[in-house]
């Protein structure tokens, strides 16, 4: 018998080689998918972490200490550490650097002391603090003098120096109590300008240098930067020590990243246990862990897509192998009939087939494993994950998977031998019809459930893959393919019915063949499913890429986001980008009495809505941003006083009745050329009747749109003579300035409603020979002004009481807001009343948050109208088409880190963490194309070999070869063409119905805005054409060969019906 096997194998080497090739390709396809879900994610994770911005892979800890370590409630150990934290810092450093092993890491430490009192100098209480930084040049630029190098030396931010009237060479002291004895004198040896952005996140004043309302009422100044060791040497207790470890991951391997991730995950507990008893609190900040978690989340989303592709690939491969099995069985049918006639039982036939299938499966393991590795390597290189090395033990695991797949495919090869009867190819038996209908119904029900689950699915779950995301598309496509086969016989039967009334034979014969030969179901299923997979894959990939772009646009909100707050930044941005520039308010706000939670904080975004379409990005369900934001911008232009040059030169004089001593701490509200506003401190001026000259640095093309005066009165509050209302006036002459057209000066509402100690009665602006003169007339209410400051603000526009806003649908839903409703915002301490003008799907840059969108000019006017002087410029947005290197250029100018929409979109679509999905989708499309052609070839070979006898019969009846060939080709065209068409339609339906539900954000959330279906016609048409032409290229020669082989000699082999 083995001799028979051997000889038979040699005789059928062609068909066995074809079967082996199909098994190798199929097992390799699944193997490649396995590598895409195992090896690729590790590599992707490594690349994502290595390429992440430095700030995203830091680890840090802040050690907090009590304000007063001498408090009896403070433990001795904590108090000792607050005075000298070197031991705690060393321990924290060791813990923070440990996860990165031998990788280089930079440790930076920020140490700040508790607040101490500055000398009173007869003024209000003022606080200041020391800070010790080991990387001063990274955090600031020396403006004058130098950084401190010795104990007792300090350097101040320029804003602090100006506000405190200190300069290089000045000295000051810090005291533990107001007016108490100061410590060692501190000599100012330099001033510096803080670099914008993250370097000052540890600073209590965020690098602003001045905090007017530190802890409610007292002004705070700082930091007073001391030399290394200076904080401890000063004797002032430490308030906080912040350590940051910045690892250099450029040389990190996947193993390094995995190990670091595991160690960082445990860091929080280790820091707590090691340092918890030496500090008041330990606050860990682990961007590395967050980045890694986000990457893992993305990996889960990506893994779902890859697994879905693997399942679809398995279905395609399985069907192809079934077709290959049929070909083998058809070739062996005469032999099997002979053996059966000679008494061989079915079980032995099945056993023989199983043995042969087992041999084929084992033969396919090595080439399939090698092919899977090669495929994975090619795909990884193509999507930017190369070089794709297998993880340790990966080859063995892969070989195991490939072996399992090969054996499963081997089982499929045996299936035809398990059938109890040889199909005659005529009418389908009723049991088969019922069974198939039942299976289809079950599949359809499962698909319906999966689809509903997918539609309700909001968040991807699972570290490796989300079951719903994996199963739903597979079931939908499988059920769709099964369902799509249903109309094909109906159509064929209609053609069959029409064939009865035809005179000729060619087309009717094709129709009869198509309608009455049910063996084509598997092939049709393969063609339908593969075509659907291919078209769905192409459409879904396009939809996914488009959605990532849309999500990036909605998340960024514009083309470039620059985290700068300074006036005049817009000019630099315009020069570098030639785009539409706007100062932007982007911050969380308190909305009425709504309770805030970390996840649901209401976000306020205010931009220059006059140029919304040029500035804002993100697709809306309907209409554009200009339409959405229409009506938000104020109708009236702001007036004010136009300045020349880069400084505002003021001559200030003030008079107070009854010689009451009042000082005015002046600020000019300056607006730059792009509409950004900020209150610039002009210094403290006594209202003593004498002129005082003040100079304030301003950006080019600036204008003064407001003047703020904080009045402080000095005197004996108990003196009955000084307890009346006292009128005063304040004249400010802005030299070389001109009044802006349409300028209308008005008075802002007094800040704080509870107790008014000074009020502004009139504001007038007149043109003076040397500039513009502003006169502020008001009344000071004594003795209240002795006890607290009085704040007065004059504005160059009519006060704005209500800001029109557009609210996000999420916020509207949460609060039940409707158009026309009013809401109360709190911008810090400044209340702003807003009115809902419209509801939008989302607010740019805050696609998921409950948010409000306002015009930055309107918001600023409203805040100023309520005496809110804090700058509202949190960042700058640039719209338009910035040149490719704009972000780098701006970062080089110190305006970084710049967020570029294009970069975010590219990272979302082409980043390493999404690469496995792209690779898998490409693999699915290619595999579908190849398997369609292979399956068609196998089926056509089987079907046409079975038809050779019919061809011979027809020849015997006088049919010409040409007409028989035409009939067979027409039949193949009907079967294959209809299947291709059905598959393309199914792919399109899946793309429309399922595709958008599979698109997720990088965090695994439903995309905002909702994914818009993309159907790239050129690619789809090209792919279908490839399928049609490929099938034709296979079927035509096979059919011609069958007709050629169908000689009269075939009739001698005709089994009796």
Partner 1 sequence: MSAQPGVEPGATVRLRDVHRTFGEGRSAVHALRGVDLDVAPGELVAVVGRSGSGKTTLLNLVGGLDRPDEGSVRVDDVDVAALTEDGQALLRRDRVAFVFQTFGLIPVLTAAENVGVPLRLRETPVAERERRVEMLLDLVGLAPHALQRPDELSGGQQQRVAIARALAGSPRLLVADEPTGQLDSETGLAVMALIRGVVEAEGMTALVATHDPVMIALADRAVRLVDGRLVGDGARV
Tell me how far apart the alpha carbons of residues 896 and 881 are, in angstroms, rounded to a whole number. 18
State which residue, 125 or 1048, has the beta carbon closest to partner 1: 1048
DSSP H helices, 608-766, are 612-615, 625-628
Cβ 402 vs Cβ 30: under 8 Å? yes
Residue window 786-825: x/- pattern of binding to partner 1, with contact defined by CB under 8 A: ----------------------------------------
Task: Give the SS3 label for residue 1014.
Answer: coil
Q: Which of 112, 955, 976, 1039 binds partner 1 (CB under 8 A)?
A: 955
Q: Which of 10, 342, 424, 430 binds partner 1 (CB under 8 A)?
A: 424
Q: What are the DSSP calls for 443-510, one per residue?
A: HHHHHHHHHHHHHH--B---SS--HHHHHHHHHHHHHHHHHHTTHHHHHHHHHHHHHTT-SSSHHHHH
Interface region with partner 1, contact rule CB under 8 A, candidates 193-201, 389-397, 847-855, 959-967: 959-967
Cβ 803 vs Cβ 859: under 8 Å? yes
Interface region with partner 1, contact rule CB under 8 A, candidates 457-465, 564-572, 777-785, 947-955: 947-955
Interface with partner 1, residue 954, by CB under 8 A: yes
Interface with partner 1, residue 501, by CB under 8 A: yes
State which residue, 40 or 967, has the beta carbon closest to partner 1: 967
Interface with partner 1, residue 1051, by CB under 8 A: yes
Q: What are the DSSP calls for 816-879, one per residue?
A: T--TT-EEEEEETTEEEEEEEEEEES-BTTBSSS-EEEEEHHHHHHHHHHTT--S----EEEEE
In the numeric block, the tokens 């007409």 are attached to: 963
For partner 1, the binding residues in 510-529 under the rule CB under 8 A are 512-513, 516-517
CA angle 56, 61, 64 (to 5 degrees): 145
What minimum distance in Å lies between the beta carbon of 953 and partner 1? 4
Interface region with partner 1, contact rule CB under 8 A, candidates 428-436, 479-487, 496-504, 1001-1009: 496-504
What minimum distance in Å lies between the beta carbon of 980 and partner 1? 23
Interface region with partner 1, contact rule CB under 8 A, candidates 503-511, 730-738, 872-880, 1005-1013: 503-511
**Sheet containing 647-656: which strands, arranged edge to edge?**
692-697, 647-656, 725-735, 771-781, 758-768
Interface with partner 1, residue 960, by CB under 8 A: yes
What minimum distance in Å lies between the beta carbon of 951 and partner 1? 10
Q: Which of 76, 957, 1017, 1018 binds partner 1 (CB under 8 A)?
A: 957
What's the distance, Cα to Cα, between the start and end of the chain in Å? 30
What minimum distance in Å lies between the beta carbon of 327 and partner 1? 20
Interface region with partner 1, contact rule CB under 8 A, candidates 423-431, 529-537, 575-583, 878-886: 423-431
CA–chain centroid gap for 180, Å, is 53
Query: What tokens does 721 get?
Result: 């003579």
Q: Which of 217, 435, 1029, 1048 binds partner 1 (CB under 8 A)?
A: 1048
State which residue, 718 or 1057, has the beta carbon closest to partner 1: 1057
Nearest partner of 665 among 756, 791, 753, 772, judged by Cα: 791
What minimum distance in Å lies between the beta carbon of 620 and partner 1? 58
Rama region for 657: left / alpha / beta (φ>0; ψ in -120 to 50; rest): beta
Interface with partner 1, residue 956, by CB under 8 A: yes
Q: Which of 1, 427, 597, 720 binds partner 1 (CB under 8 A)?
A: 427
What minimum distance in Å lies between the beta carbon of 1008 and partner 1? 56
Contacts with partner 1 by CB under 8 A: the residue count is 33
Interface region with partner 1, contact rule CB under 8 A, candidates 622-630, 841-849, 910-918, 1048-1056: 1048-1056
Nearest partner of 164 among 197, 207, 126, judged by Cα: 126
Interface with partner 1, residue 502, by CB under 8 A: yes
What minimum distance in Å lies between the beta carbon of 331 and partner 1? 19
What minimum distance in Å lies between the beta carbon of 431 and partner 1? 17
Number of residues assigned to the chain: 1057
Query: What tokens does 95 get?
Result: 């813990």
Q: Which of 152, 425, 799, 831 binds partner 1 (CB under 8 A)?
A: 425
State which residue, 342 or 427, has the beta carbon closest to partner 1: 427
Tell me how far apart the alpha carbons of residues 814 and 603 are, in angstroms, rounded to a whole number. 14
Q: What are the DSSP calls for 403-436, one per residue?
A: HHHHHHHHHHHHHHHH-SS---SSSPPHHHHHHH
Interface with partner 1, residue 971, by CB under 8 A: no
What minimum distance in Å lies between the beta carbon of 509 and partner 1? 8
Tell me how far apart the alpha carbons of residues 319 and 991 are, in angstroms, rounded to a whole number. 23
Residue window 758-787: x/- pattern of binding to partner 1, with contact defined by CB under 8 A: ------------------------------
State which residue, 114 or 964, has the beta carbon closest to partner 1: 964
Q: Which of 962, 1029, 1033, 1044 binds partner 1 (CB under 8 A)?
A: 962
Q: Which of 259, 619, 961, 1045 binds partner 1 (CB under 8 A)?
A: 961
What minimum distance in Å lies between the beta carbon of 972 and partner 1? 15
Strand residues in 672-702 grouped as ranges (E)? 677-686, 692-697
Interface with partner 1, residue 959, by CB under 8 A: yes
Q: Which of 655, 953, 1041, 1045 binds partner 1 (CB under 8 A)?
A: 953
Q: Which of 122, 456, 622, 1056 binds partner 1 (CB under 8 A)?
A: 1056
Tell me how far apart the alpha carbons of residues 419 and 421 are, in angstroms, rounded to a whole number. 6
What minimum distance in Å lies between the beta carbon of 302 and partner 1? 49
Tell me how far apart the alpha carbons of residues 543 and 561 are, in angstroms, rounded to a whole number. 26
In degrees and rounded to multiples of 5, residue 129 shows phi and psi of: -150, 160
What minimum distance in Å lies between the beta carbon of 1005 and partner 1? 55
Angle between helices 961-993 and 506-516 (to 10 degrees): 50
State which residue, 507 or 601, has the beta carbon closest to partner 1: 507
What minimum distance in Å lies between the beta carbon of 461 and partner 1? 52
Strand residues in 698-829 grouped as ranges (E)? 703-714, 725-735, 738-739, 746-747, 758-768, 771-781, 790-795, 802-808, 822-827
What minimum distance in Å lies between the beta carbon of 551 and partner 1? 55
State which residue, 342 or 424, has the beta carbon closest to partner 1: 424
State which residue, 635 or 1049, has the beta carbon closest to partner 1: 1049
State which residue, 518 or 867, has the beta carbon closest to partner 1: 518
What minimum distance in Å lies between the beta carbon of 960 and partner 1? 4
Cβ 871 vs Cβ 877: under 8 Å? no
Classify each residue of 837-851 as buried b or exposed e, where b means 16 or more C-beta atoms within 10 Å of its C-beta: bbbbbbbbbbbbbbb
What minimum distance in Å lies between the beta carbon of 524 and partner 1? 17
Interface with partner 1, residue 503, by CB under 8 A: yes
The DSSP 8-state label assigned to residue 1000 in this structure reads: -
Task: Give the SS3 label for residue 683.
Answer: strand
Tell me how far apart the alpha carbons of residues 652 and 519 are, in angstroms, rounded to a whole number. 100
Tell me how far apart the alpha carbons of residues 663 and 709 are, in angstroms, rounded to a whole number. 9
Cβ 1001 vs Cβ 1007: under 8 Å? yes
For partner 1, the binding residues in 77-136 under the rule CB under 8 A are none
What minimum distance in Å lies between the beta carbon of 506 and partner 1? 9
State which residue, 657 or 1051, has the beta carbon closest to partner 1: 1051
Task: Give the SS3 label for residue 773.
Answer: strand
Contacting positions for partner 1 (CB under 8 A): 424-427, 501-505, 508, 512-513, 516-517, 950, 953-963, 1048, 1051-1052, 1054-1057
């Amino acid at each position: 018998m083995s001799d028979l096997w051997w000889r038979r194998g040699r005789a059928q080497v062609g068909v066995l080689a074809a079967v082996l090739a199909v098994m190798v390709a199929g097992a390799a396809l699944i193997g490649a998918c396995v590598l895409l879900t195992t090896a690729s994610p590790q590599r992707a994770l490594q690349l994502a972490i290595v390429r992440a911005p430095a700030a995203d892979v830091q680890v840090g800890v802040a050690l907090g200490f009590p304000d007063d370590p001498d408090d009896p409630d403070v433990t001795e150990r904590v108090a000792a550490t607050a005075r000298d934290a070197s031991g705690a810092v060393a321990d924290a450093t060791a813990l923070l650097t440990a996860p990165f092993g031998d990788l280089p890491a930079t440790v930076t430490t920020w140490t700040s002391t508790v607040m101490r009192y500055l000398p009173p100098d007869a003024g209000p209480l003022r606080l200041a603090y020391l800070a010790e930084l080991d990387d001063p040049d990274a955090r600031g630029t020396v403006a004058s003098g130098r950084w401190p190098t010795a104990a007792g030396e300090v350097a101040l931010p320029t804003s602090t120096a100006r506000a405190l009237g200190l300069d290089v060479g000045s000295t000051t002291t810090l005291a533990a109590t107001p007016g108490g004895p100061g410590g060692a004198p501190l000599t100012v040896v330099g001033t510096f300008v803080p670099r914008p952005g993250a370097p000052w996140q540890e600073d209590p004043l965020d690098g602003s240098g001045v905090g007017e309302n530190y802890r409610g009422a007292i002004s705070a100044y700082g930091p007073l930067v001391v030399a290394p060791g200076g904080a401890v040497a000063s004797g002032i207790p430490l308030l906080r020590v912040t350590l940051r470890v910045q690892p250099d991951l450029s040389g990190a391997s996947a193993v390094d990243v995995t190990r670091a991730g595991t160690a960082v995950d445990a860091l929080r507990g280790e820091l707590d246990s090691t340092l918890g008893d030496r500090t008041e609190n330990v606050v860990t900040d682990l961007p590395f862990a967050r980045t890694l978690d986000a990457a893992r989340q993305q990996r889960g989303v990506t893994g779902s897509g890859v697994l879905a592709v693997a399942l679809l690939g398995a279905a395609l491969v399985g069907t192809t192998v079934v077709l290959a099995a049929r070909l083998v069985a058809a070739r062996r049918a005469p032999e099997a009939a002979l053996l059966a006639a000679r008494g061989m039982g079915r079980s032995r036939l099945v056993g023989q087939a199983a043995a042969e299938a087992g041999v084929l499966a084992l033969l396919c393991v090595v080439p399939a494993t090698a092919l899977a590795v090669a495929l994975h390597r090619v795909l990884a290189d193509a999507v930017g994950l190369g070089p794709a090395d297998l993880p340790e033990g990966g080859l063995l695991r892969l070989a195991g998977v490939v072996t399992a797949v090969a054996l499963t495919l081997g089982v499929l090869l045996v299936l035809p031998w398990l059938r109890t009867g040889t199909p005659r190819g005529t009418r389908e038996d009723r049991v088969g019809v019922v069974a198939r209908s039942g299976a289809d119904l079950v599949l359809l029900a499962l698909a319906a459930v999966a689809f509903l689950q997918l539609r309700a699915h909001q968040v991807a779950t699972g570290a490796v893959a989300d079951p719903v995301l994996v199963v739903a598309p597979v079931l939908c496509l499988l059920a769709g393919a099964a369902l799509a086969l249903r109309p094909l016989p109906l159509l064929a039967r209609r053609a069959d019915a029409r064939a009865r009334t035809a005179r000729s034979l060619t087309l009717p014969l094709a129709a009869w063949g198509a309608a009455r030969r049910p063996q084509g179901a598997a092939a049709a299923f393969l063609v339908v499913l593969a075509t659907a997979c291919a078209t769905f894959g192409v459409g879904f990939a396009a939809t996914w890429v488009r959605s990532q772009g849309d999500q990036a646009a909605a998340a960024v909100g514009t083309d470039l986001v620059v985290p700068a707050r300074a006036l005049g930044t817009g000019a630099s941005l315009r020069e570098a980008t030639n785009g539409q520039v706007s100062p932007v308010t982007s911050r969380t706000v308190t909305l009425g009495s709504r309770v805030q939670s970390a996840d649901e904080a209401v976000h306020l975004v205010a931009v220059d809505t006059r140029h919304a379409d040029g500035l804002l990005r993100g697709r809306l369900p309907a209409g554009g941003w200009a339409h959405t934001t229409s009506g938000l911008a104020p109708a009236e232009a702001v007036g004010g006083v136009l300045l020349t040059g880069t400084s505002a030169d003021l001559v200030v004089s003030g008079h107070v009745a009854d010689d009451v001593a009042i000082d005015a701490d002046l600020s000019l509200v300056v607006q730059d050329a792009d509409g950004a506003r900020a209150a610039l401190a002009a210094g403290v001026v006594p209202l003593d009747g004498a002129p005082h000259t003040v100079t304030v640095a301003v950006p080019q093309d600036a204008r003064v749109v407001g003047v703020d005066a904080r009045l402080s009165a000095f005197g004996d509050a108990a003196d009955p003579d000084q307890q009346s209302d006292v009128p005063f006036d304040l004249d400010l002459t802005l030299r070389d300035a001109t009044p802006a057209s349409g300028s209308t000066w008005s008075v802002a509402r007094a800040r704080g409603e509870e107790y008014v100690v000074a009020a502004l009665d009139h504001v007038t602006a007149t043109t003076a020979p040397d500039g513009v003169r502003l006169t502020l007339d008001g009344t000071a209410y004594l003795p209240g002004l002795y006890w607290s400051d009085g704040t007065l603000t004059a504005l160059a526009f009519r006060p704005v009481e209500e800001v029109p806003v557009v609210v996000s649908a999420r916020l509207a839903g949460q609060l039940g807001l409707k158009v026309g409703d009013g809401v109360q915002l709190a911008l810090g301490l400044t209340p702003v009343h807003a009115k809902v003008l419209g509801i939008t799907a989302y607010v740019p840059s805050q696609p998921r948050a409950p948010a409000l969108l306002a015009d930055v000019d309107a918001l600023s006017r409203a805040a100023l109208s309520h005496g809110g002087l804090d700058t509202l410029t949190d960042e700058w947005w640039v719209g338009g088409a910035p040149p490719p290197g704009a972000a780098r250029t701006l970062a080089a100018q110190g305006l970084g880190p710049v967020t570029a929409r294009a970069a975010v979109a590219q990272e979302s679509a082409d980043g390493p963490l999404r690469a496995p999905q792209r690779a898998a989708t490409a693999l699915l499309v290619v595999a579908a194309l190849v398997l369609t052609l292979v399956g068609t070839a196998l089926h056509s070979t089987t079907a046409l070999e079975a038809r050779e006898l019919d061809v011979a019969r027809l020849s015997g009846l006088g049919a010409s070869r040409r007409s028989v060939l035409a009939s067979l080709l027409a039949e193949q065209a009907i079967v294959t063409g209809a299947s291709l068409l059905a598959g393309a339609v199914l792919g399109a339906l899946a793309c429309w119905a399922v595709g958008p539900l599979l698109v997720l954000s990088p965090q695994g959330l439903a995309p905002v805005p909702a994914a818009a279906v993309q159907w790239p016609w050129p690619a789809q048409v090209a792919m279908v054409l490839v399928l049609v032409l490929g099938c034709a290229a296979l079927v035509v020669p096979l059919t011609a060969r069958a007709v050629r082989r169908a000689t009269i000699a075939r009739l001698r082999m005709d089994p009796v019906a």
